[in-house]
Chain A
Amino acid sequence: MAVHSLPPDQDDASVTEAATLSSLYSFLALTMRYPDPAFCNEPFFDTFESLLASLDWPSELAELQTWRRQTPDRLDDLRTAYTHLFITAAPGGTIPPYASVHLDGDGTMYGRTTERTRDFYRACGFDLLSETEPADHLQFELEFLAALAGEAKFDDEERFLQILFRPWFAQFQKKSMQEARHPFYKVSIQLIDFFTKEEQ
């Protein structure tokens, strides 16, 4: 992603904050992407652990560490877990990571929400690179939030979270917490919740 210049009236602290937030969203987006050796490697898991450590989430950290220790082929394990949780599974238990499935009333894909989400991206100056997957996949939404944060467009970020993200993510998370037994995905979804929920 290109480096974005920030308006001059913002202080250094908020610049750092924006960059951090953007990196965070990007990282979270990766956790929701189908595991690929290009990113899903030891440095990635190390980063995950250091994030949990710095957040002071000791039990989640321990869970992740245990999983790493006990799983020789971590990529393979994550792929099966991802497929089960987000693509297809028998018996049941798949939580499609698309907003419209949760918002548009009848479990639809490419629903009105998908259209609205894409319109939102475009209105903010972004669009999908590929037409083959719907715009409202959790991964893309997090990438979009990363892009907004990177440009310090905090108003747009908050508006997107409020109008389009939180309403479905809440439902997604609820269902995922029942189904996601895999520590990696369980913790990832908790992290996404933590970084996207409304500030009290």
Chain B
Amino acid sequence: MQYGMVIDIDRCVGCHACVIACKAEWEVPAQYSRDWVHRLGPAITSTGMAYTYYPGLCNHCDSPPCVPACPAEKVNATFKDKKSGKTVTMEIAATWKDPFNGTVQVDRERCIGCGACRDACPYKARYVDEGLKDENSLGKVDKCTYCMPRVAEGLEPACVQTCLARARIFGDLDDPKSEVAQYVKKGAVGLTSKAVQIGPNGRYYGSKKGDMELLMQAAPQEMPKVSLRRSLLTQMSLTAKHQIKEIGLLGLAGALLVKSFQEEEEK
């Protein structure tokens, strides 16, 4: 099973209800977003004038670069398939791809807020809420979960429920009978480019060539370079902080580490 979302841009009217419903549902602070609507155009395309929307969210990719980027300490976790009752136990960091439903999830308790996963995502689907920083983290990362807690209760994702245009369709891409699979058959595509081919499970459908052209131009054109050193430093600084705290030298050592970290950023 692979959950996915189709966005029918023929239907989308650009009302942004999806974004606000998500903010309300998950109490996302105003300045952050788990999903977005960008307006594209009006611009001239190969078929004339076009003006459309890019309603985006985490693509819960087949090969999510955010998952290996996470430097948080790994733990064993057991996943259970709701249908078959089968279980799988695997090692995960603070972000992982669910082996049964294909969604990419985050454990905010263990997230250290380093931002490595955020930086690794070519779609910019993640943010770090720095307001949630604590002694174990620089903040907490967040992103679209495909509303798994709602789905578990038999509800639609918040953005899908509120969409007046029925432009958002959620379901199992692996089930050929599902509406999302039908859309894929009809030509719904992920926002990929030459350099970005990570199997996005958000798919876009539009019957107008000009609209699709604008949308594909909005697709990321390169994979972000992930600073391994950065996540390493964050991880080190946190561990170090703990150790140092115990021997009472927190202020000095912490400051030094933070400084070197900033220098890295400037480069």
Residues of A within 8 A of B (CB): 103-108, 111-112
Contacts and interface: CB of A to CB of B under 8 A. Distances in A.
Contact of B27 (A103, A107, A112): A112
B62 interface: no
Contacts of B29: 104-106, 108
Closest 3 CB pairs of A and B: A105-B29, A106-B30, A106-B29
B137 to A, nearest CB: 15
Interface string B23-39: 00001011110000000
B85 interface: no
A103 B32 CA distance: 15
Interface string B1-29: 00000000000000000000000000101
The majority secondary structure among interface residues of chain B is loop
A179 B131 CA distance: 24
Contacts of A103: 131
Interface in B27-72: 27, 29-32
Q: What band does the interface of chain B fall in when counting residues whose beta carbon is under 8 Å from A?
A: under 10
Contacts of A108: 29-30
A30 to B, nearest CB: 31
A103 B29 CA distance: 10
Contacts, number: 17
A106 B29 CA distance: 5
A112 B129 CA distance: 14
Contacts of A105: 29-32, 129, 131
A119 to B, nearest CB: 15
B130 to A, nearest CB: 9
A107 B131 CA distance: 12
Nearest to B27: A112
Contacts of A106: 29-31
Nearest to A104: B29
Nearest to B23: A106
17 contacts: A103-B131, A104-B29, A104-B131, A105-B29, A105-B30, A105-B31, A105-B32, A105-B129, A105-B131, A106-B29, A106-B30, A106-B31, A107-B30, A108-B29, A108-B30, A111-B27, A112-B27
A111 B28 CA distance: 11
Nearest to B131: A105
Contacts of B27: 111-112
Contacts of A107: 30
Contacts of B31: 105-106
A105 B131 CA distance: 6
A167 to B, nearest CB: 10
Nearest to B29: A105
Nearest to A115: B27
Q: Among A103, A106, A111, A112, which residue has the most Cβ atoms of chain B within 10 A? A: A106
Contacts of A112: 27
A105 B129 CA distance: 9
Given A105-B30, A105-B129, A106-B30, 14 more contacts: A103-B131, A104-B29, A104-B131, A105-B29, A105-B31, A105-B32, A105-B131, A106-B29, A106-B31, A107-B30, A108-B29, A108-B30, A111-B27, A112-B27
B194 to A, nearest CB: 37
Nearest to A103: B131
A88 B131 CA distance: 26
Nearest to A112: B27
A103 B27 CA distance: 13
B260 to A, nearest CB: 28
A111 B30 CA distance: 12
A165 B32 CA distance: 25
Contacts of A111: 27
B98 to A, nearest CB: 26
A146 B152 CA distance: 44
A111 B27 CA distance: 8
B246 to A, nearest CB: 19
Nearest to B129: A105
A109 to B, nearest CB: 13
Among B29, B31, B129, residue most surrounded by chain A Cβ atoms (within 10 Å)? B29
A136 B131 CA distance: 18
A110 to B, nearest CB: 11
B131 to A, nearest CB: 5
Interface centre among A103, A105, A112 (most CB of B within 10 A): A105
Contacts of B131: 103-105
